[in-house]
Structure formats: structure tokens, C-alpha cells
Amino acid sequence: MSIAHVVVTLVAAALVGFSAISVFAGAEWVVRPLADYGVPGSWRVWLGTAKALGAVGLLAGLVVPVIGVAAGFGLVLYFTGAVVTVLRARWFSHVPFPLVYVAPVLASLILGFAA
């Protein structure tokens, strides 16, 4: 495990954790776009929980690597679904937002496999 892997994983977990907290808190800049994309409001708890578990899984992966890999792949699938949802809603200018969150997760996975 390299220092770069640890730092990138901590950054990824912090970003995803922040995103989960934003969903749970009902931040307007998160809730309004979800409604605009056609995501039912009842899904917010599940979406926030998935992000929170992913962030915790990334952190746990620093101790038990297989958990981090599973969390990383789960988050990649989650944010891939987010990109698809944004594209289906035809809000093309919003595509970069989920990519900001998935990029450090992918970097963490790549650095973890390289170690």
C-alpha cells in the first residue's frame, strides 16, 4: 500500500461521504436536480445510504483490501447509474458532476491494484 493510494482513498471517501451527507441533509443543490432528473424523492434515503456505505467501505479497504475493492466497484456502478440518469433526463451539462465523485474512486482502485 502506497502513500498515494492512502491519500487518494481518503479523498475519495471524503468526497463520497460529503455527497451522502448532502443527500441526507436534503441540500437544495442535490434535491432539486434529482427531482428534475425524475428520481423519486423516496429514493433519497437509499441513495444516501449507498454512498455512505461506499465511503465507509473505502476506508475499511485500507485495512481489509477486499472490502475496499468491493466498495470501489459498487461506487463505480452507482455513479455510472448517475451518469445514465442524467443523460436520460437530457441534462448534458450536469454529466461532469457524478464524474467528479467517481474519478478519485477509480484512482483509488487503480492505485490499490498497482500496489
In this predicted model, what pLDDT tens digit does every residue of 19-57 receive, in sequence order? 999 999 999 998 899 998 999 989 999 999 999 999 999
Tell me the mean pLDDT in the region 86-108: 93
Number of structural domains in the chain: 1
Query: What CA–CA distance (Å, rounded) separates 14 from 17?
Result: 5
Please report, as a single letter, which amino acid is at residue 82. A
Domain extent for 92: 3-114
pLDDT at 69 over 90: yes
Query: What CA–CA distance (Å, rounded) separates 23 from 63?
Result: 27
